[in-house]
Amino acid sequence: MTDRRATGRRVQRAGKAWQKSAAQWLREHAWPHAGYEVRQGRGDIIGTWDLSVECTTCRWDDIWVKLAQSERDAKARGLDLACVWKRRHGSADPGAGAVLMTAKSFFPMIRQLESLDKREMDEQDAYDRGYAAGLRAGKKD
What does the pLDDT profile of the chain (141 residues) look like in tens digits? Answer: 556 676 778 888 888 899 999 999 999 998 899 888 776 656 688 888 888 999 999 999 999 999 999 999 899 889 989 999 999 999 989 999 999 999 999 999 899 888 887 777 777 777 777 766 665 555 665
Specify the pairing of strand 81-86 against strand 45-46: unpaired
Domain ranges of the chain: 2-101, 102-141
* Interacting residues of 110 by C-beta distance below 8 A, sequence separation 6+: none
Q: Where are the alpha helices (DSSP H) in 30-102?
A: 63-77
CA distance 109 to 8: 37
CA distance 93 to 106: 23
Entry pTM: 0.74
pLDDT value of position 134 = 67
pLDDT value of position 95 = 94
